[in-house]
Amino acid sequence: KSFLNHTAYLSCYFTNSQKIDIKDLRVFWQKGAVEVVHEVYYGQEKYDNLSPKYINRTKMDMNKWTLQLLNAGIVDEGQYKCIIQHRDKGSPKVIHTSECLLHIIANYSQPEIAQLPTGELKPKENLNLSCSSSGGYPEPREMIWLISHENTTYRHKCHMDVSQDVVTKLYNVTSKLNITVPTNTLTNISCLLHLGEQLGSLVSVPLGI
């Protein structure tokens, strides 16, 4: 995983247990079947075969056998393959291959609750709320409303509207809640955005009624 516009680190998972001189190795990174991402040709960086979008965006750390992909974007997501060939008795022979999958993460804004109509609330009136968060990636799992009063919290799962920016590929999400204004009890309403198993959740500032 890598944050959007940061450096992604892709490992070859190569130990070089035989201590082969890098001048006898060709290290070749590719994405998919056709795109050449990086090439170290018997100790020297080689740029002739690179796919144009990776030129000046990659560095290979030969001590850690790790490729740095600079300014990682959503279009860079996908499967990468590292192939290492050893020049032995003249003809190169593949001695190692590995694959890694790159996922890009962009932080969503803190969810924010908007109230319609604004102004003074009267008991038993209808209250329309919307909760929004923007500029994130990947698409979130769900948005849940938390309604708390008298030491009890109710969870409401409402429909979540998701839109994706055509250019940036980042997501904006909104959920709407329609409730009756409670009588004679303080109620706190929050909105929780679930981003996925490893990314956790974001919660709004609670709205007190």
In this predicted structure, what is the pLDDT of residue 19?
85
Q: Rounded to whole angstroms, how far apart are CA atoms 173 and 122?
A: 29
CA 48 centroid distance within chain = 31
Delineate the domains of the chain, giving CATH numbers in brackets: 2-105 (2.60.40.10), 109-208 (2.60.40.10)
Strand partners, 69: 8, 58
In this predicted structure, what is the pLDDT of residue 117?
66
In this predicted structure, what is the pLDDT of residue 16?
83
- The angle at the Cα of 82, spanning 73 to 15, to the nearest 5 degrees, equals 120
Q: Rounded to whole angstroms, how far apart are CA atoms 197 and 138?
A: 12
Q: Rounded to whole angstroms, how far apart are CA atoms 82 and 207?
A: 51
In this predicted structure, what is the pLDDT of residue 92?
86
In this predicted structure, what is the pLDDT of residue 103?
94
Distances (CA, A) of 166 to 108, 127, 160, 170, 185: 17, 33, 19, 8, 45
In this predicted structure, what is the pLDDT of residue 198?
72
In this predicted structure, what is the pLDDT of residue 119?
65
Average pLDDT per block of 10 residues along the chain, 209 residues long: 95 87 90 89 86 91 92 94 87 91 94 80 80 94 90 88 93 92 82 86 90
In this predicted structure, what is the pLDDT of residue 150?
80
Q: Rounded to whole angstroms, how far apart are CA atoms 134 and 173?
A: 6
Q: Rounded to whole angstroms, how far apart are CA atoms 205 and 144?
A: 14
Distances (CA, A) of 149 to 153, 158, 182, 190: 7, 19, 9, 12
